[in-house]
C-alpha cells in the first residue's frame, strides 16, 4: 500500500494549477443518465472517485470515452469525458460499487426520472458520520415515487413518471439538492426546492442541466424552481474549479510560508475561507490568472471558526485549517456542525506534536512553536491532506499511510507540491493513478 513521505521545512513558491471540482464532476457525470444524447464534460479531474463512477455508470448502460492528450497539455491538465446513455440497460446499482462512494447513490434520481424505476444500494463512503438518506427519500416520495427498503437496497418506482411538488428540506443537504434537482428536470409540472443547498457545485450542475434543455431558476439560492420538460438533450460543459483544492493549497502556503499562484480558480468560490485565512495572517490577492497567496515571515494568528453550509466556512476545509492552527501564536476553537465524526485527524496531528483537546463537536487548538515529523495514518479524504499540510511544516520526516483516501479527491497532490519546492514523494508499488 502506498505512502507519502514528506521532509518538512521548505516554503512553497510557484504555480499550482487548480483541478476541476470533484464535488461538481460527480453529479455532472450522473446527469448523463437523463438523456440519450452525448454529454461532454471538460476539466474533469483524474481521481479514483471519477474512475469508480464511470464503472457504476457503465453498469447502467452509459458508454464513455476520453479525449487524448493535446499539444501543450501535461498530466496536470483536466481531462475531457464524453458520456452517452443511449439506453438505460440496468436500473440496479449494486452494493459492491455504491458502498465504495457515497455520491453514487445519487443515480437514483435520474434513473427514476428517465426509466421510472431504480434499485440502489444504501451508500457507503468516508467514515465521517452517518449522513442518512432520509432527505433523498422524502423528496422522491414528494415527487410521486413509491419506495421500499429491502435487504440494504432502496427499491423505487414511478410507473407514470415523476410529478412536480414543493419539497421543503428540514436541513440543508447538498446531495439531496443535487439528486432532486436532477430528478425534477423530467417530472411533470413545477418542482420547488425550499431550503436548498447553495454551494457553487449546485449552480454548476444547474448550468449544465440548462444547457441540456432543463428549465431551472434560483440555483445557488435557498429556493430552486424546476419546470419539468419531456426530454433533455446533449451538451458540452466545463467543470468549475475545485474550491476545496484551492483552499487546501492556500492553507499549505499559509502554513509553510512562501508565495503561490493558484491558477485557474476564483475567490468567489470560497470568500469565507479566504477571509479566515487573511485573518490568520496570509496575504490573498485575486488576479486574472487565479489567486495569489503569500505569507512572508509573519506569524500565524489564531482564529475561531464554525463550519456551516455555503457560504459559511466549508466542513471540507476544517481539517486543513486545524493543521494550520496548530502553529498559531495562541488558542483557536474549531466547531464542527456538519458531520459528527470529523475530528478523527486530531489523534494523528497529536503524533506530530499538536496540542488539541476535544469537547463534543468543539476542538480547542493550542498553537505550538514546532511540529516534529512522525509516521501518521489517514482516516478519511480531508483528514489525510491535513496531515500532509502539517508534515510540510514539521521538522524532519513525516510518512502518511493509507493515502488511497487522498487519491479520491486530490489530483496528483505530491507532484503539484514538489514543483513548488516541497520535498514530498510517493512510496510503494500500489500505483494510485
Binding positions for UDP-N-acetyl-alpha-D-glucosamine? 102, 131-135, 171-174, 316, 338
Contacts of 315 by beta carbon, 8 Å cutoff, 6+ apart: 307, 336, 337, 338, 339, 342
Residue ranges with strand state E in 169-241: 190-194, 215-217, 223-227, 235-238
Which is the catalytic residue, given 52, 56, 126, 253?
Answer: 126
At 380, is the secondary structure helix, strand, or coil? coil
* Binding residue positions: 22-23, 102, 131-135, 171-174, 316, 338
Q: Beta partners for 364?
A: 333, 357
**Beta carbons of 249 and 290 less than 8 angstroms apart:** no
d(CA 357, CA 353): 13
**Beta carbons of 125 and 102 less than 8 angstroms apart:** yes
d(CA 42, CA 55): 19
In the annotation, is 126 catalytic? yes
* Binding residue positions for phosphoenolpyruvate: 22-23
What are the CA-CA distances from residue 390 to residues 13, 59, 247, 396 (Å)?
A: 17, 40, 15, 12
Lookup: cell for 281: 495572517
Beta 166-168 vs 190-194: how paired, if at all? parallel
| Geometric angle at alpha carbon 83, from 208 and 431, rounded to 5° | 110
* Interhelix angle 174-184/134-142, nearest 10 degrees: 20
Lookup: cell for 408: 479520491
Contacts of 262 by beta carbon, 8 Å cutoff, 6+ apart: 16, 18, 246, 249, 250, 290, 291, 292, 293
Please identify every residue annotated as catalytic. Answer: 126
Amino acid at each position: 500500500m502506498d505512502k507519502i513521505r514528506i521532509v518538512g521545512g521548505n516554503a512553497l513558491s510557484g504555480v499550482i494549477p487548480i483541478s476541476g471540482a470533484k464535488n461538481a464532476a460527480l453529479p455532472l457525470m450522473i446527469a448523463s443518465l437523463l438523456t440519450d444524447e452525448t454529454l461532454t464534460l471538460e476539466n474533469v479531474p483524474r481521481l479514483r472517485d471519477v474512475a469508480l463512477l464511470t464503472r457504476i455508470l457503465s453498469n447502467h448502460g452509459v458508454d464513455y470515452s476520453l479525449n487524448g492528450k493535446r499539444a501543450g497539455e501535461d498530466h496536470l491538465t483536466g481531462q475531457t469525458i464524453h458520456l452517452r446513455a443511449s439506453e438505460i440497460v440496468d436500473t440496479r446499482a449494486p452494493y459492491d460499487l455504491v458502498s465504495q462512494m457515497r455520491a453514487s447513490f445519487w443515480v437514483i434520481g435520474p434513473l427514476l426520472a428517465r426509466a421510472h424505476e431504480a434499485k440502489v444500494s444504501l451508500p457507503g463512503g468516508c467514515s465521517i458520520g452517518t449522513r442518512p438518506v432520509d432527505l433523498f427519500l422524502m423528496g422522491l416520495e414528494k415527487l410521486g415515487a413509491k419506495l421500499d427498503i429491502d435487504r440494504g437496497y432502496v427499491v423505487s418506482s414511478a410507473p407514470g413518471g415523476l410529478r412536480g411538488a414543493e419539497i421543503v428540506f428540514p436541513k440543508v443537504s447538498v446531495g439531496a439538492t443535487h439528486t432532486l434537482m436532477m430528478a425534477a428536470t423530467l417530472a411533470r409540472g413545477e418542482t420547488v426546492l425550499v431550503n436548498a443547498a447553495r454551494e457553487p457545485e449546485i449552480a454548476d450542475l444547474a448550468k449544465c442541466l440548462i444547457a441540456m434543455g432543463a428549465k431551472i431558476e434560483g440555483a445557488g439560492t435557498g429556493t430552486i424552481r424546476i419546470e419539468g420538460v419531456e426530454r433533455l438533450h446533449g451538451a458540452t460543459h466545463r467543470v468549475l474549479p475545485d474550491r476545496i483544492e484551492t483552499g487546501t493549497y492556500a492553507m499549505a502556503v499559509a502554513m509553510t510560508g512562501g508565495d503561490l499562484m493558484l491558477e485557474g480558480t476564483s475567490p468567489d468560490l470560497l470568500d469565507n475561507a479566504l477571509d479566515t485565512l487573511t485573518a490568520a495572517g496570509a496575504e490573498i490577492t485575486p488576479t486574472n490568472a487565479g489567486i495569489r497567496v503569500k505569507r512572508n515571515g509573519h506569524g500565524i494568528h489564531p482564529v475561531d471558526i464554525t463550519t456551516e453550509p455555503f457560504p459559511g466556512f466549508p466542513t471540507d476545509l476544517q481539517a486543513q485549517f486545524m493543521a494550520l492552527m496548530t502553529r498559531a501564536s495562541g488558542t483557536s476553537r474549531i466547531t464542527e456542525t456538519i458531520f459528527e465524526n470529523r475530528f478523527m485527524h486530531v489523534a494523528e496531528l497529536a503524533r506530530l506534536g499538536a496540542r488539541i483537546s476535544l469537547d463534543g463537536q468543539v476542538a480547542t487548538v493550542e498553537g505550538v512553536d514546532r511540529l516534529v515529523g512522525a509516521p501518521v495514518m489517514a482516516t478519511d479524504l480531508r483528514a489525510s491532506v491535513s496531515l500532509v499540510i502539517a508534515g510540510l511544516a514539521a521538522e524532519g520526516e513525516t510518512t502518511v499511510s493509507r493515502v488511497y483516501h487522498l487519491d479520491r479527491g486530490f489530483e496528483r497532490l505530491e507532484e503539484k507540491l514538489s514543483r513548488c519546492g516541497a520535498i514530498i514523494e510517493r512510496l510503494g508499488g500500489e500505483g494510485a493513478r
